[in-house]
Amino acid sequence: MDDATADSGMDAVQRRLMFEDECILVDENDEVVGHDTKYNCHLMEKIESENLLHRAFSVFLFNSKYELLLQQRSATKVTFPLVWTNTCCSHPLFRESELLEEHALGVRNAAQRKLLDELGIPSEDIPVDQFIPLGRMMYKAPSDGKWGEHELDYLLFIVRDVKVHPNPDEVADIKYVNREQLKELLRKADAGEEGLKLSPWFRLVVDNFLLKWWDHVEKGTIKEAADMKTIHKLT
């Protein structure tokens, strides 16, 4: 039985993306070493046996009131369904426009594409040159017994007022939060209240970077926080 047959019960949209999308495989220094399907890149068996590591990005979009846009992943997502996370989390694909290395242009192109796909944010609302790459982190996180993540994640910040029209295949809910509201969300997640869960990558960013970077967002000095030379290895 092949993978496509074995996972015939998967949501049709997510199944198509799993088999059609080719993620960018990298080594621990973020050098491109190949490509593989989104399906294989998220199988814990493959991650553990072949040490598959793929390039990813996490967008943190703030409005002009410096509130952060969060999304709840849809129930049909293969990994981490219904968890709350940052504005958008996805992967640049193995295609010329998203492999461009200079100033992380390929990753920024991918971020613009996925913000439209997932949240219906028009490209003109989020010009590629407005995304600010602040850092990179590497982490591994199982979702359930079969699926998980092993990513080298680019952290992109942007401050824009945007029109949002979530795609229900990708997103169950959205909300803007200020710092205090985020802290309350963290408290509920830690206490297990309301069944609220946060994605592991979002939690790593919150615990290691977000609040100090938020200070720079509010001061208009966000570029001063950028460190794209370091790859933070987090667990």
Which residue has 């913000």 as its token pair?
115
Close Cβ partners of 20 (under 8 Å, ≥ 6 residues apart): 37
Which residue has 């969060």 as its token pair?
70
| Sign of the dihedral through C-alpha 51, 71, 146, 142 | positive
DSSP label at 49? H
Q: Tell me which of 98, 118, 149, 151 is the catalytic residue.
A: 151
Of the CA atoms within 13 Å of residue 54, those in its CB half-sphere come to 26
DSSP label at 220? T
Q: Tell me which of 22, 89, 98, 149 is the catalytic residue.
A: 89
Is residue 184 annotated as part of the catalytic site, yes or no? no
Listed residue (134, 151, 128, 161) closest to 61, CA to CA: 161
Is residue 170 annotated as part of the catalytic site, yes or no? no
**So which residues are the catalytic ones?**
89, 151
